[in-house]
Amino acid sequence: MSKIVQLASVALSAIALTVAAFGGTTPIATASSITIPDLTGQNAKIAEDKLESLGLTNVTLASANPKYTMVLAPENWKVVSIEPTPGTAVSSNDDVILK
């Protein structure tokens, strides 16, 4: 067996073991991931600014009340929930919704 084939075999084995160890579905936080903070109860504008200052680029404001379809003045709203949930690691371009 050539040296290149041996190295490739070792690399593939390491990848297979990593996937098996994590079940192939568990996300692994990387150095570039951002952990969603718990902003529940905070002013929506301040919460939006905080998420953007962390490097998140797709922050959306939505009403938790189905009676209202949009948030026109975030400074008049309080955050009641966050998607994904606080503590979740996301990439900077993942969608984050403040309700």
**19-75 pLDDT per residue, tens:** 455 555 444 545 579 999 999 999 999 999 999 999 999 999 999 988 988 888 999
Q: Which amino acid is at 49?
A: D
> Taking the C-alpha atoms of 70, 71, 72 and 77 in order, what is their torsion angle to the nearest 10 degrees?
150
User: Where do you find CATH 3.30.10.20 in the chain?
Assistant: 32-98
At 68 the pLDDT is: 86
Count of C-beta atoms within a 10 Å radius of residue 95: 12
How far apart are alpha carbons 48 and 60 in whole angstroms? Answer: 8
Matching residue, tokens 């939505």: 62
How far apart are alpha carbons 81 and 41 in whole angstroms? Answer: 8
CATH architecture, domain 32-98: 2-Layer Sandwich (3.30)
3-state secondary structure of 25: coil
pLDDT confidence of 15, banded at 50, 70, 90? low
